[in-house]
Amino acid sequence: MRQAIRSRTLLARAQWARLEPLLPKGTKPGRPPIWTRRQLTDGIRWRTRPGAPWRDVPERYGPWGRVYDLFRRWQRGGTWKRIFTELQAQADSKNLITCDINVDSTVCRAHQHAAGARKWGPAEGAARRHRRRAGRPRARTLARRPDPKLHLAVEQGQKPMSIVITAGQRGDSPQFEPVLKAICVPRVGPGRVRTRRIPPARIAAPTVAERVAVTSTFDRRLAQAGHSSVVTVQQSRVGRAQNGGMTEHNADYTRALNNAERILGFSLAPYVDPRPTEPDNAYDFTRIATEHAFNDAWTRSEHLDLRTRALISVTITASLGILEPLRGQLRIALHNGVTKEEIVEAFIQMAVYAGVARAFDSYAVAREVFSEHDEADSPQGN
């Protein structure tokens, strides 16, 4: 039993191999430390897992004061936050983050002793005894128990995206927008930072009050942008009700839709369910094509990253002269970090083999997409 508990608190070799390059490097030369970074980090994880006092950290992880000093020093210097951001960026580069955001909160109950004692000094004690003798009891006010509330945003893979800590009496709905504003996933290579600009259909709120907050938040943003669309909240992709019926998506199709929305940069909810006028096998066609494209092809990252694959797709569609699919591929490329200059260079190379006329037609479409992209990035577009 003890060995099992100890193995849960220790970092595995693969985990330490990913974490070690992100740790700050020492600048002062000298003797090697007695307690390694890995031991101290395991000690920090042991303490934070059950919330035990620092003095109870086992000796095998090093002196408890040294463990606490490392934890506190990195906390003040922002090291933990930087490590968290770097791990998010690495996960995003490997297509491991699905931006279907769930927001919820929990209260961390503090022990009753955390409220502290009554603030009575010697002079106050004498005055209290005097009032007691005079028969005038003093009103006693105890400090509020420090029960903080954690507001957390996670994606569908249960990876944390942002966290906001408030007092325990704070409501969930007012903190919804601050939690979204805290989402900021940088990209490993070139490209825009993934921020809170998430389609409303990709945010799930567990309570009615939070759903109202979601709707009001996005209604306000649309009004500021000059739009009048009605925003609805999608509670779950699996089991979406439409026209009184229920469409069930299997796990592979759900994963393909999540990958497609992450790559495309917008919600596919309006295009998933077939219309009443479409054939009976339209849903099967959409499912098979989506699974093949976004589960089998686009997610392959062993030899080509997503950015390179997007630029290749732009070149292929431009060479074939299919201009409407080219418009979609250009949006995907810009969303995933491909620059306008790289797209133009691809057209120059394509003109050698596919013809100058086809390259001019492709650039005319690209020029329109570039204008849309610039308007979306401008402050007026946000």
Whether the pLDDT of residue 148 is over 50: the answer is yes
* pLDDT of amino acid 315: 92
Split at pLDDT 50, 70, 90, the class of 282 is confident
**What pLDDT sits at residue 103?**
84
| 233 DSSP assignment | -
Res. 8: pLDDT tops 80: no
pLDDT attached to residue 217 = 56
Cβ-based neighbour number of residue 235 at 10 Å: 14
| Torsion, CA 123, CA 125, CA 129, CA 132, rounded to 10 | 120
SS3 state of residue 100: coil
Helical H runs in 159-250? 176-181, 208-225
**Which range scores top for mean pLDDT: 85-89, 209-213, 280-284?**
85-89
Task: Quick: pLDDT tens for 157-180.
Answer: 778 888 888 888 788 878 888 888
The CATH classification number of 306-377 equals 1.20.1290.10
- For residue 36, what are the β-bridge partners? none
173 contacts 212 by C-beta, under 8 angstroms: yes
Average pLDDT, the chain: 75
Amino acid 304: pLDDT = 86
- Domain boundaries of the chain, sorted by first residue: 2-77, 95-110+146-235, 306-377
How high is the pLDDT of residue 118?
52
Range with top average pLDDT, 32-46, 123-137, 160-174 = 32-46
Nearest partner of 112 among 80, 138, 150, 143, judged by Cα: 143
Model pLDDT, residue 232: 36
Cβ atoms within 10 Å of 358's Cβ, excluding its own: 18
The pTM is what? 0.50
Rounded CA separation 298/264 (Å) = 11
Burial class (CB in 10 A: 0-12, 13-18, 19+), 297: exposed
Its sign, for the CA torsion 156, 159, 161, 165, is positive
| Residue 80: how many other CB atoms lie within 10 Å | 13
